Structure 1
Amino acid sequence: MESPIPTHVHYHKKNRLLELTYPGDRHYRVPVELLRVYSPSAEVRGHGADTAVLQTGKRDVGLMDISQVGHYALKLHFDDGHDSGLYSYDYLLELATQQDAYWAKYLQALSDAGASREPAGIQFKQL
């Protein structure tokens, strides 16, 4: 099994991607939007299975800072003000390796709610 502890973490600001490098030179690029909408914080996950809060309008979210928490997690400081929740190394690796499934689930939840990834105030018409 792959080690959950990255050897290097790099934020690609222009593309809004968090690159995680693992032993064996394995790299994953995880969109910051995905990290934000699946934040492990109670504010996003809620306090039980039925209390999760769907995150909308996060398409353009970026990172302001990244802090290491001990030897087990990262704290991500998003530019929309969200900075609660600790991303354990296990959870980061799960998001990185299963991002297609997480994206599909998120996009379906947005569709079911009639919501959008676009920030508030931006309206798009289909032609």
Structure 2
Amino acid sequence: MNQAPTKIDYQQSTALLRIEWPDGKQAELSAEFLRVHSPSAEVRGHGIGQETLQTGKKNVEISKIEATGRYAIKITFSDGHDTGLYDWGYLKKLCDEKDKYWQTYLEKLSKAKESRESKFIDITQLNS
């Protein structure tokens, strides 16, 4: 069984989730990073090769974090996504291999000719 973090703290102003582990390691994961690597079926699919590339999530934020038993957290994002449980093992792996996961994500975006930017237009800026 994987050990639970000793501290989880979300900084709204920077959209960073700070995590401290019993071994003393600390990590910061952006809301965008967590959203595009959600362990949900919507993102991962139901099997190998069924993953869905998440695009336009650069400005997503975390709206809510809930403990799920003693083994995971459930994160609700500002885009409404709220499925998938980040168990301690997966969360630790994301922390430990953040750079590799991020690089792979950026390569997939590039290959698909997609972007981290939202495709929605901010209509409040149209009449400026």
With normalisation by structure 2, the TM-score equals 0.89
- Aligned residue for 1:110, secondary structure, equals helix
Question: Matched residues in 2 for 1:48 and 1:23: separation?
Answer: 32
Determine if contact 2:17/2:29 at 8 Å carries over to the other structure.
Answer: yes
Indicate the residue corresponding to 1:101 in structure 2.
100
**Offset, 1:32:** 1.1
Indicate the residue corresponding to 1:86 in structure 2.
85
CA RMSD of aligned residues (A): 1.2
Deviating more after overlay: 42-51 vs 18-27: 18-27
Indicate the residue corresponding to 1:71 in structure 2.
70
Q: Which runs of 5+ in 2 are unaligned?
A: 122-128
**Offset, 1:24:** 4.5
Indicate the residue corresponding to 2:114 in structure 1.
115
Determine if contact 1:4/1:93 at 8 Å carries over to the other structure.
Answer: no
Asked if 1:31 is matched to 2:30, the reply is yes
Asked if 1:60 is matched to 2:54, the reply is no
- Aligned residue for 1:104, secondary structure, equals helix
Q: Percent identity?
A: 45
**Offset, 1:21:** 1.0
- Aligned residue for 1:114, secondary structure, equals coil
Q: Which runs of 5+ in 1 are unaligned?
A: 123-127
**Offset, 1:14:** 1.2
For residues 84-104 of structure 1, the C-alpha deviation after alignment (integer angstroms, 9 at most, x for no partner) is 000001100100111000000
Runs of 4+ in 1 over 4 A off after TM superposition: none
With normalisation by structure 1, the TM-score equals 0.90
**Offset, 1:76:** 0.4
Determine if contact 2:3/2:22 at 8 Å carries over to the other structure.
Answer: no
